[in-house]
């Protein structure tokens, strides 16, 4: 089967975007893994499938698959690429769209300067909804938990869902943070029944952080939009950050704003088209 695709990136977080507004491609997890493969496929952290609106109060639906072929609930950098894609492809002329994702409904706004602002909705702290099993962690006050990892190391984390689960810890310097060793152990920790994205946050000042994220099903990526939101929310809850924060990632900068409580988290950042192409999907994988 030969399919068309668009390669996009937001702050270095890269995506293969598929237009399924006219017909479903009915791809398998193996097909998604093939597309994400950087040697034999196109290469991407995630694959985004654009679909028609499934209900009257939204403009589109999109489905997200990680590089390992598994479907996930939300992707902040991907959502910015999404709105740029539907406008460039002539699927809408709106500058603001409402989109259904597995984790709920989000609002996307393309700004005059080409950046995209996303209303990511309110952060979720309820353990069942994250999901998070506190029986496998030790509470440290109202907003923090100690995790013991399988290598016997420990880390103090904030746990939050931004449509997908995150565990965020503060480190002295992201350059030598144990992202590649602790990241997989946190991802598969028993406290997270659907696995978790592991964030490593270095606080520069109250309005600036540096961030690395080990994403479930993808490994470390150059940027993670929901991870940036989760890190800032955690820092604000811990009294370490102001309501608007500049987040430096390896792939670029994101601006995250949260007024606290049940208010929405807003993320602003870049979204760019890299190239368009076609690829043959093998009949057997």
Q: Catalytic residues, which ones?
A: 75, 224
Closest CA to 166 of 222, 267, 234: 234
How far apart CA 195 and CA 267 sit, in angstroms, is 24
Looking at the DSSP bridge assignments, the partners of residue 221 are 213
Neighbours of 131 (CB within 10 A): 16
Whether the Cβ atoms of residue 215 and residue 251 lie closer than 8 Å to each other: no
Buried residues in 142-180 as b, exposed as e (16+ CB within 10 A): ebbbebbbeeeeebbbbbbbbbbbbbbbbbeebeebbbe
Dihedral Cα 214, 219, 221, 225, nearest 10 deg: -50
Whether the Cβ atoms of residue 259 and residue 243 lie closer than 8 Å to each other: yes
3-state secondary structure of 54: coil
With a CB cutoff of 8 Å and minimum separation 6, the contacts of 115 are: 268, 269, 270, 271
């Amino acid at each position: 089967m030969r399919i068309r695709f668009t390669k996009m990136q937001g702050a270095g977080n890269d995506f293969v975007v598929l237009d399924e507004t006219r017909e479903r491609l009915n791809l398998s997890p193996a097909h998604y893994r093939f597309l994400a493969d950087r040697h034999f496929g196109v290469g991407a952290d995630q694959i985004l499938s654009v679909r028609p609106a499934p209900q009257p109060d939204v403009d589109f639906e999109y489905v997200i698959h990680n590089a390992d072929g598994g479907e996930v609930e939300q992707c902040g950098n991907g959502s910015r690429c999404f709105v740029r894609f539907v406008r460039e492809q002539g699927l809408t002329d709106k500058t603001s769209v409402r989109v259904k994702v597995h984790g709920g409904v989000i609002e996307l706004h393309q700004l005059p300067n080409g950046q995209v602002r996303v209303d990511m909705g309110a952060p979720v702290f309820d353990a069942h909804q994250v999901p998070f099993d506190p029986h496998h962690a030790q509470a440290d006050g109202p907003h923090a938990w100690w995790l013991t990892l399988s290598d016997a190391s420990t880390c103090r984390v904030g746990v939050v869902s931004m449509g997908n689960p995150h565990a965020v810890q503060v480190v002295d310097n992201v350059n030598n943070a144990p992202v590649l060793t602790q990241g997989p152990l946190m991802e598969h920790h028993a406290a997270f029944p659907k696995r978790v994205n592991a964030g490593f946050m270095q606080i520069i000042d109250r309005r600036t952080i540096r961030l690395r994220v080990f994403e479930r099903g993808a490994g470390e990526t150059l940027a993670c939009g929901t991870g940036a939101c989760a890190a800032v929310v955690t820092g604000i809850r811990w009294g370490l950050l102001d309501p608007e924060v500049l987040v430096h990632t390896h792939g670029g900068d994101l601006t995250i704003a949260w007024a606290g409580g049940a208010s929405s988290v807003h993320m602003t950042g870049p979204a760019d088209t890299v190239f368009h192409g076609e690829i043959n999907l093998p009949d057997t994988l």
